[in-house]
């Protein structure tokens, strides 16, 4: 079995593949000050609760955009689960042609997403990832990764709003019944859900013009909330990143773990 880990600024998303099939997916909050022992114990417990033991794992792979926690997660997995994760960074041979001017500045998750998308979609492709930041990644007709756009994430933006606006309170993030809110709660839900959906459509359409058209896929924690209210996103794939990690592990080792 292969343990695939995607360490983001908000969450650590993990998956276990058995014979190339995703057997489980789990998500825990990222705390940068966790020690290697804390990370290792937590991940081991998460797996044990789902019936997976140390002896079941034959490999691991890790993509991280949180440098202060990368080594701790890697060492924790090695200590508690007996496998040292393969680390995905800008030096990793992904097999993907990257046309970005400074590849070393790219978050590992963006490249992993591109690999995952190309595993079962035909380019050109635009990937919208609703994470701590909302990222837009473009793959051209030749399958080259070109770059994209980075916008403040939904949670980051709304947290800043509620902290700075004394008369506004937190609301449940859910679709509004109408665009013209009749209460403060409805108005916030309209502005957040429909407003971010509009941002997605505006950026995606501009990218599609530059690419000459493109299929669009969304992933990330809030994809199910926002994507249905867009006009450009037709597909949601929450396993995109994990599938990309599986493909990269196979490329490195010649097997699925």
Averages of pLDDT over runs of 10 residues in the chain (257 residues) are 95 94 92 95 94 92 96 97 94 93 93 96 97 96 97 89 73 89 91 96 98 97 95 96 97 76
Which residue, chain included where needed, has tokens 């050109």? 124
Among 33, 89, 109, 120, the one annotated catalytic: 109
Residue 13 near residue 220 (C-beta atoms within 8 A): no
Q: What is the reported pLDDT for 167?
A: 57
Kindly list the distances between the CA atom of residue 101 and the CA atoms of 145, 152, 249, in Å, as whole numbers in the listed order.
11, 22, 25
Q: What is the reported pLDDT for 257?
A: 55
* Phi/psi at 77 (5° precision): -65, -45
Q: Is 11 exposed, middle or buried (0-12, 13-18, 19+ CB in 10 A)?
A: middle
Q: State the Cα torsion 84-86-87-91 to the nearest 10°.
A: 140
- The correct answer on CATH 3.40.50.620 for the domain covering 2-88 is no
Which of 169-199 are b and which e, b meaning 16 or more Cβ less than 10 Å from the residue's Cβ?
Answer: eebeeeebeeeebeeebbbbbbebbbbbbeb
Q: Where in the chain are all domains bearing CATH 3.30.420.40?
A: 2-88, 103-243
Task: Look at the domain 103-243 and name its fold.
Answer: Nucleotidyltransferase; domain 5 (3.30.420)
Q: Is 109 a catalytic residue?
A: yes
């Amino acid at each position: 079995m292969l343990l695939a880990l995607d360490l983001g600024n908000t969450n650590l998303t993990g998956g276990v593949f058995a014979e190339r099939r995703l057997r489980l997916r789990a998500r825990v909050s990222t705390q940068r000050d966790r020690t290697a022992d804390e990370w290792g114990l937590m991940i081991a417990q998460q797996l044990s609760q789902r019936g997976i033991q140390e002896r079941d794992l034959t490999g691991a792979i890790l993509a991280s955009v949180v440098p202060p926690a990368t080594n701790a997660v890697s060492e924790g997995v090695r200590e508690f689960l007996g496998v040292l994760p393969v680390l995905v960074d800008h030096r990793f041979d992904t097999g993907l042609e990257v046309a970005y001017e400074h590849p070393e500045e790219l978050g590992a998750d963006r490249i992993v997403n591109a690999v995952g998308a190309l595993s079962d979609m035909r380019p050109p492709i635009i990937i919208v990832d609703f994470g701590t930041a909302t990222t837009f990644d473009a793959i051209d007709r030749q399958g080259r990764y070109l770059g994209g756009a980075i916008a403040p994430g939904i949670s980051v933006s709304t947290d800043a709003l509620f902290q700075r606006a004394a008369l506004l309170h937190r609301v449940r993030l859910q679709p509004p019944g109408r665009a013209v809110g009749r209460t403060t709660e409805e108005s916030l839900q309209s502005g957040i859900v429909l407003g971010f959906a509009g941002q997605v459509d505006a950026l995606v359409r501009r990218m599609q013009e530059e690419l000459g058209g493109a299929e669009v896929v969304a992933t990330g924690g809030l994809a199910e909330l926002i994507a249905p209210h867009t006009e450009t996103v037709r597909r949601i794939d929450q396993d995109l990143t994990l599938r990309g990690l599986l493909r990269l592990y196979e490329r490195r080792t010649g097997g699925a773990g």
